[in-house]
Amino acid sequence: MKTLYKYVAKEFIFPFLIGIVGFIIFVSVEVLYQLSSIIVQNHVSILNLFALIYYYIPQFISMGMPVGVLLAIFWVLSNFSSRRELMAFQVHGINLKRIVIPFLMVSLILSIFTYLIANFVVPSFSTQASNYLEKYVYHSSFPSVQTNTFFKAGNNYFYVNSFDPKTEQFGSVMISNLSGNDVT
């Protein structure tokens, strides 16, 4: 049985990789399509586009794992059927339910991997993607906050009397809104 499990797992790898890479390419093109008007308006360079896609790849991988697994299972079982390997397994007394075990083992390992990526890698990369989008696509960056400083964000002016960078807490903040004729 060990040989069968290794064989099925080995047959699983290539279609899984094709499925996940295809999904990543498809979703990357979709994201670029959705951002295309913004990209053209703000004259974003190709290097910045690739950097932006780089920050989204962990999210795409975590979304694409189930797609890759499903494609790989269908692909492997279809190949086994077309090459009459399923019939050969049955002739040799191997129950077809035993063929499912390697799929379950690989799927369990990939589920754990997906969980780890989705909960530990994706949040930090999503934050970096948002910051990168603001800085290099929208060309706006949030000013660094310091004690006793004024800075502008949109129609608002901010005065920060005190700021502790360790705890990220503000003290005595004044916000002035300059929309229209009134100052609030």
Least confident of 47-56, 58-67, 121-130, 157-166: 157-166
Is the pLDDT at 61 greater than 90, yes or no?
A: yes
In the chain, where do the E strands start and end? 149-153, 156-164, 169-177
Of the chain, the percentage scoring pLDDT greater than 70 comes to: 92
Nearest residue to 162 (alpha-carbon basis) of 179, 146, 176, 138: 146
Q: How confident is the model at residue 177 (pLDDT cuts 50, 70, 90)?
A: confident
- What the block records as the tokens of 124 is 């930090």
Instruction: State if pTM tops 0.75.
Output: no
- Give the model's pLDDT for residue 144: 64
Half-sphere exposure of 56 (CA within 13 A, CB side): 21
Look at residue 182 in the predicted model and tell me its pLDDT: 61
Contact call for residues 58 and 121 (beta carbons, < 8 A): yes
Which pLDDT band, with edges at 50, 70 and 90, does 22 fall under?
very high
Rg (CA), the chain: 26
In tens, the pLDDT along 106-135 reads 999 999 999 999 999 999 999 999 888 888
Interval 73-113: pLDDT, tens = 999 999 999 999 999 999 999 998 999 999 999 999 999 99
Q: Which pLDDT score is estimated for 159?
A: 84
Closest CA to 65 of 97, 25, 113: 113
